[in-house]
Amino acid sequence: MYQQFFKTRLMHIALYQPDIPPNTGTIIRMAACLDVHIHIIEPCGFPFGEKSFRRAGMDYIDQSKITRHQSWEDFLKIMGSHRIALLTTKAAEPYTEFEFKENDVLLLGRESAGVPDDVHARADARLLIPMTPETRSLNIAVSASMVLGEALRQTNQFPKAD
């Protein structure tokens, strides 16, 4: 079932072991609004469920396309040919200079720790958001929205207005 859905959808967001429910809820809400599939790679740092996301996700949980994966390895098994673009502060390539493809997976790490070295190494691309030298990082939901917006723009995948 997962493999079939992964092949038929276009842009995806994958959250690696998220640990802040409101951020996850905000990303789920954004994905519902933009018709993007969300992958949650367990374990989460909180009990996964509607109650955790109620405030940030509001009533968009029912409109969301969410697939939960028990581990990084399980997630990789269904990846197929999808390219993983990791958003990380440890990258050299700005997302604004990256050429997105319509079936890319935007991977975001844990808010508290990012991703481990093996996940970092597995990514096909590592992208950063250019910031002033005095700052460290953006909120994960803000980062996801900035990069997803550019990816959807480049691939002409924004939902069409009626």
Q: How far apart are CA 73 and CA 63, in angstroms?
A: 27
Q: Is 159 helix (H, G, I), strand (E, B) or coil?
A: coil
Contact between 37 and 65 under an 8 Å Cβ cutoff? The reply is yes
User: Which value, in Å, is the radius of gyration of the alpha carbons in the chain?
Assistant: 15
- In 3D, which of 32, 75, 71, 74 has the Cα closest to residue 53? 32
pLDDT at 161: 76
pLDDT at 65: 87
In 125-142, which positions are buried (b, 16+ CB within 10 angstroms) versus exposed (e)? Answer: bbbbbeeeeeeeeeebbe
**Residue 16 burial (CB < 10 Å; 0-12/13-18/19+)?**
buried
- In 3D, which of 106, 107, 81, 97 has the Cα closest to residue 157? 106
Q: How far apart are CA 60 and CA 7, in angstroms?
A: 24
Supply the pTM of this predicted model. Answer: 0.90
Q: How far apart are CA 92 and CA 89, in angstroms?
A: 8
HEC string of 81-93 equals CCCEEEECCCCCE
- Domain ranges, ordered by start, for the chain: 2-155
Assigned architecture for domain 2-155: 3-Layer(aba) Sandwich (3.40)
pLDDT at 47: 72
Distances (CA, A) of 106 to 1, 19, 23, 31, 130: 21, 17, 16, 12, 17
pLDDT tens digits in sequence order for the chain, 162 residues long: 445 555 555 899 999 999 998 899 899 989 999 999 999 999 988 777 656 555 544 567 777 888 999 999 999 998 877 999 999 999 999 999 999 999 999 999 999 899 999 999 999 999 999 999 999 889 999 999 999 999 999 999 998 876
pLDDT at 132: 95
